[in-house]
């Protein structure tokens, strides 16, 4: 059997089960199973494969057929041009969250030696990226999940970028420190919409990273009301939100006295990120 025939086997298996990107996923898993690089894959289609490569590839395809996300199978995901290790303890970093990081960087450029708090850090993708992009910053990252924090610390090391990681419930543990920016991609999915999520998300990603009470707004609401205590005067709260939550979240910011509220759309035209300034 050669590389092309092995690839065809994987692609057809995924195609038969109606996966959205059978060709792409079959080739990514093939590179993982055989260790060859992209260029050699395209140039040497007739290279023969050995039994151990066939077995490994079949095992990876079997895992994908159960809907396990490719990122968990590979154990990694690219975010903001950096590599993050992922497993079932952490949400897989999403492209939409790169918009949150874009907006955070713009805000942080307005401060000297800014202090950042990332609430619900998960894989650490936001905190590690911001610390790397703004090396003069002091960055604290928190999560309630011990497993997530272990992954975040691993990603901090592999990217050679070191936020401070603290286990805690939202902002409860912060007593005296004040921050220029509180950033968060919190859980915001409504419990009753959980069953509508993609099977791979439902069955493999941590539910505690996705779902929040009060119609998905429970955690966002707590972050907004607790942030006032923890933000410096004229500091910013920057949040990722669900597709239909912008009106409610604007209201929450307004009720709590925040100013300069602005919503940003993602590439699909969906309200995805919101920022607000805390002014006494």
Q: Under the rule (CB under 6 A), what is the footprint of ligand SAM?
A: 91, 93, 97, 120-123, 125-126, 142-145, 148, 169-170, 185-187, 208-209, 219
CA–CA dist 56, 142 (Å, integer): 37
Closest to ligand SAM by CB, 10 or 200: 200
Closest to ligand SAM by CB, 147 or 257: 147
Write the burial class of residue 232 (CB in 10 Å: 0-12 exposed, 13-18 middle, 19+ buried).
middle
Composition of the chain by helix, strand, coil, percent to 5: 45, 20, 35
Q: How many residues does the chain have?
A: 280
Closest to ligand SAM by CB, 34 or 184: 184
Shortest distance in whole angstroms from residue 258 CB to ligand SAM: 21
Collapsing DSSP to helix, strand or coil, 245 comes out as coil
Q: In sequence order, what are the beta bridge partners of 262?
A: 275
Closest to ligand SAM by CB, 67 or 208: 208
Shortest distance in whole angstroms from residue 273 CB to ligand SAM: 12
Closest to ligand SAM by CB, 144 or 228: 144
CA dihedral 269, 274, 167, 222 (to 10 degrees): -120
**Please, what is the Cα angle at 215 between 212 and 221, to 5 degrees?**
65
Shortest distance in whole angstroms from residue 250 CB to ligand SAM: 20
Closest to ligand SAM by CB, 187 or 200: 187
DSSP annotation of 48: B
Shortest distance in whole angstroms from residue 108 CB to ligand SAM: 17
E-strand ranges in 114-216 read 115-119, 138-143, 164-167, 179-184
Looking from the CA of 62 toward its CB, the CA atoms found within 13 Å total 6
Shortest distance in whole angstroms from residue 229 CB to ligand SAM: 16
Shortest distance in whole angstroms from residue 170 CB to ligand SAM: 4
């Amino acid at each position: 059997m050669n590389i092309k025939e092995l690839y065809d086997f994987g692609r057809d298996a995924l195609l038969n089960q109606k996966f959205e990107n059978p060709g792409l996923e079959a080739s990514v898993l093939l590179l993982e199973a055989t260790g060859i690089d992209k260029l050699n894959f395209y140039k040497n289609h007739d290279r023969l494969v050995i039994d151990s490569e066939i077995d490994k590839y079949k095992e990876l395809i079997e895992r994908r057929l159960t809907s396990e996300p490719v990122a968990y199978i590979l154990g990694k995901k690219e975010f903001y041009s950096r590599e993050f290790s992922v497993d079932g303890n952490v949400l897989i970093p999403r492209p939409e969250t790169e918009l949150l990081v874009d907006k955070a960087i713009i805000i942080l450029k307005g401060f000297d030696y800014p202090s950042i708090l990332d609430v619900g850090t998960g894989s650490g993708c936001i905190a590690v990226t911001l610390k790397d992009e703004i090396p003069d910053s002091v960055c604290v990252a928190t999560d309630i999940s011990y497993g997530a924090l272990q992954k975040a610390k691993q990603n901090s090391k592999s990217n050679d970028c070191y936020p401070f990681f603290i286990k805690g419930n939202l902002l409860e543990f912060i007593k005296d420190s004040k921050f220029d920016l509180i950033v968060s991609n919190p859980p915001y999915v409504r419990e009753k919409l959980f069953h509508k999520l993609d099977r791979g998300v439902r069955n493999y990603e941590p539910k505690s990273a996705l779902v929040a009470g009060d119609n998905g707004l429970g955690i966002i609401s707590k972050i907004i009301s607790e942030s006032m205590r923890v933000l410096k005067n004229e500091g910013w709260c920057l949040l990722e939100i669900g597709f239909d939550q912008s009106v409610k979240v604007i209201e929450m910011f307004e009720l709590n006295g925040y100013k300069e509220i602005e919503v940003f759309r993602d590439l699909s035209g969906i309200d995805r990120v919101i920022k607000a300034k805390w002014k006494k």
